[in-house]
Amino acid sequence: MGLGGCIILIAVGAILTFATDWDMRGVNLDLVGVIFMIVGLIGVATFSSIARRRRVVVPPATSVVDDPATRPHHRDGYSDGYGA
């Protein structure tokens, strides 16, 4: 479940808990809403901890300097042997 699913669970749970007055036999909608909100919060916490672990800072690579003085010189101008 992604971050969007967790936020939807929290929103649906809040709606069931605070904005409805439905009565269903055998189902406490307030409790169902609270459970949805708790599951959504656990999902957000899990998602953020996983995203924090995936975020790795990579130092910039050192640049390669092409020094013409250190390259081998050939009479045809190509140093890799594939020149025509």
Residue of higher predicted confidence among 25 and 73: 25
Mean pLDDT to the nearest integer, 39-67? 78
DSSP code per residue over 62-83 = PPPP--GGGS---TTS-SSS--
Q: Is the residue at 66 inside a domain?
A: no
- Inside any domain, residue 67: no
Residue 28 within a domain: yes
Distance CA 42, CA 7 (A): 11
**Is residue 72 assigned to a domain?**
no
pLDDT at residue 20 above 80?
A: yes
Query: Tell me, what's the pLDDT at 36?
Result: 97
Residue 62 lies in a domain: no
pLDDT tens-place string over residues 65-77: 666 666 665 555 5
Other beta carbons within 10 angstroms of residue 9's beta carbon come to 21
| Residue at 61 is within a domain | no
Residue 25, domain member (yes or no): yes
What the block records as the tokens of 2 is 């992604």
Report pTM: 0.60
Tell me whether residue 47 is exposed, middle or buried, using C-beta atoms within 10 angstroms of its C-beta: 0 to 12, 13 to 18, 19 or more. middle
Query: Residue 21 sits in which domain range?
Result: 3-54
22-28: average pLDDT: 88
Q: State how many domains the chain has.
A: 1
- Does 45 reside within a domain? yes
